[in-house]
Amino acid sequence: MKKALYPRPKEYTSYDGILNLPEIPVLLFHKDSEGELFKIVSAFKKELSDRAGIDCYPVPDYSGKLTVSIEFLPDESLEGECYEIEITDEKITLSYGTPVAAFRGKETLLQLFEINGLSQPTGKYLDWPDLRRRGFMLDISRAKVPTLEKLFRLVDVMAALKMNELQLYLETYVYEYQEYPQHAHIAEALTPFEILQLTNYAKERYVDLVPNQNSFGHLRNWLRLDEFKELRSYDGENCASLNPLDPRSLDFVEGLYSSLLPAFDSEYLNIGCDEVWDLEKGKTKEKAEQVGELGVYLDFLELICKKAEEHGKRPQFWGDVLLNETEDTSVIERVSKNMIPLIWNYNGKDDAFDRHGKVMSTLGYDFYICPGTSSWIAMFPDLNNSCLNVLNGAEAAVEYGAMGMLMTEWGDFGHIQCDFAMELGLIYSGALSWSLEGSRDFELACNYADSFLYKCEEGSVSDIIRAGSDLYDENYFWMFERKFTDNNAPKKSGTFNYDHYMKVKNGMQDMAEKAKTLKMTAADSELLRTELIASAKLYSLMTDYMLFRLEYEEKGKIDDFDTRLAAFLAEYASVKTDFKRCWNARNKEYDNEHMFRQIEGGFDDMIATVKNEN
């Protein structure tokens, strides 16, 4: 495969020549009072060696008799993150107006060296971002708590894509809240010191680690604890929302904030507040009858907003409850302009980004567009949907002047998917939010992944992921939540048939074989190979489970069930072992049984159904 710059720089002019650099180029840079350029040049020197096998000789401010081959040159005419790289027949000049621009240009320059080595085509690049904020959100609350090493790697990937915002989604006690220390043992929680380490690691790479704490809905796990049951908006185990009329609810939120926020430097706080349901009943029923459910919601949203502002944070919030419930701009404008609505939508065919982005722009709000990786509840992502979702989001963000775009990776039902399932979406989103017009072609994202992330020498990881995406079946992992005899969902989608399941099974087996033959040089190559193979095998086993359901539906029995079940469960046990080994290599071991408990619940129901009928 041919390596190419990604994201694409905005402007390029070719000079039709070649600059042949010496074996150890001299790099001249100009120190700043904060020492940021020293850090950037130091990082460039190390990465140039690691990524391109080239050493350089940095000198500050004055090169003496040395011949300069590369210069990092301040230029006050360049603003913000805009940078320029000019390659003449004498040297390479990276011009910048701010340190962050020098950092962005540094990444492009590193890619150029990875692509061309010491023989660089002459020309000029001028580049700047389409969106101010280019972010990624990782769900760490559905069983999978990442290790610090994994989070460092994620920041590195984002920085290489010129992204500048990372959020870790919290709705459970997977952070060690100092206000509630008695619950830290429930999960292998991230500690305040780990978050401080991540904050500083990200800051050095110009990535803003933004705290993300759901503060109204999605709090079911907290509200099941005895000491917080009284804060439910209605009585019931499935209640996930705080009672907004109880002053203790706001005290609880304050406890979360006072514990969480000291570990973060960001000026922003994502307060969540999405999918707040059932305010028309229970403890809020009477108030909802007076002011409406949306009125109850907005009253508490305002209180949470003020609480965030008391901590010196500008609040972001998920805009679904507000924007999906009303088109009345006078109601929408009850929300303070200091708040930043996050417009989320994960359906590539939906026009919500366009509709809601236009409203937010017209009303003068800073807002984000938030698409998704479409990788949750599956082993391989639904890239057909995700790519359209992200592209629509980027187009709306640019057209309506959004403050930023935040790509989301959710972990519903135990976050079983491996990291590769989110990475093509992450790369595509990062590139589009920097350069929409130059990065539309998804092939460029795949080529970047294979060339720079996975470092494929033979074979293609992105081809395997895309093959898995083409076989994506939305019903597979939902079926463990349904009775063994309830096959209405796959019947409705037209996939409940032998030909479909054999196509998936054969495809997954083929992908596993291709993964075995990959030649990669990335540091985690062998782990990635194991993840690809284990994912394909588990998907294949899920197909066998669906074939059992199909046979039982058609015959009212399963032939030779005991023998086939024993073989099926033995293979499942082997794949589960491999899968958990992969999980533990990148994440804390906490609750790595979560999704498997649900899968095995489906197996138990199958066994009980078949045995009882027979």
pLDDT digits (tens, 9 = 90+) for 568-595: 999 999 999 999 999 999 999 988 999 9
340 and 265: one domain? yes
Query: So what's the pLDDT on residue 585?
Result: 97
How confident is the model over 449-467, as a mean pLDDT? Answer: 97
Domain final position from 422, 448, 474 = 448
Per the listing, tokens 């070649």 go with: 18
pLDDT tens digit string along 241-264?
Answer: 999 999 999 999 999 999 999 999
User: Is 456 domain-assigned?
Assistant: no
In this structure, what CATH number is given to the domain that contains residue 88?
Answer: 3.30.379.10
444 and 545: one domain? no
144 and 113: one domain? no
- Does this model's pTM top 0.95? My answer is yes
For residue 537, pLDDT over 70 is answered with yes
Per-residue DSSP letters for 368-380?
A: EEE-B---TTSSS
Query: So what's the pLDDT on residue 25?
Result: 98
> How far from 366 is each of 52, 59, 309, 340, 417, CA to CA, in Å?
40, 42, 16, 5, 33
For residue 363, pLDDT over 60 is answered with yes
User: Is 393 domain-assigned?
Assistant: yes
In this structure, what CATH number is given to the domain that contains residue 291?
Answer: 3.20.20.80
User: Is 162 domain-assigned?
Assistant: no
362 and 230: one domain? yes
- Strand ordering across the sheet containing 26-29: 11-20, 119-127, 83-87, 92-96, 68-74, 26-29, 57-60
User: Is 119 domain-assigned?
Assistant: yes
Q: Which two tokens stand for residue 148?
A: 């610090």
Does residue 490 have a cis peptide bond before it, meaning omega lies within 30 degrees of 0? no
For residue 46, pLDDT over 80 is answered with yes
pLDDT tens digit string along 202-250?
Answer: 999 999 999 999 999 999 999 999 999 999 999 999 999 999 999 999 9
For residue 602, pLDDT over 60 is answered with yes
How confident is the model over 32-59, as a mean pLDDT? Answer: 96
How confident is the model over 290-301, as a mean pLDDT? Answer: 97
Confidence label for 613 from pLDDT (cuts 50, 70 and 90):
low
User: Is 166 domain-assigned?
Assistant: no
How confident is the model over 167-185, as a mean pLDDT? Answer: 90
Count up the domains in the chain and report the number: 3
415 and 476: one domain? no
Domain span including residue 380: 133-151+175-194+210-448
User: Is 201 domain-assigned?
Assistant: no
pLDDT tens digit string along 495-528?
Answer: 999 999 999 999 999 999 999 999 999 999 999 9
Mean pLDDT of the chain: 96
468 and 601: one domain? yes
Q: Fill in the DSSP letter of residue 411.
A: -
Confidence label for 271 from pLDDT (cuts 50, 70 and 90):
very high
How confident is the model over 402-423, as a mean pLDDT? Answer: 96
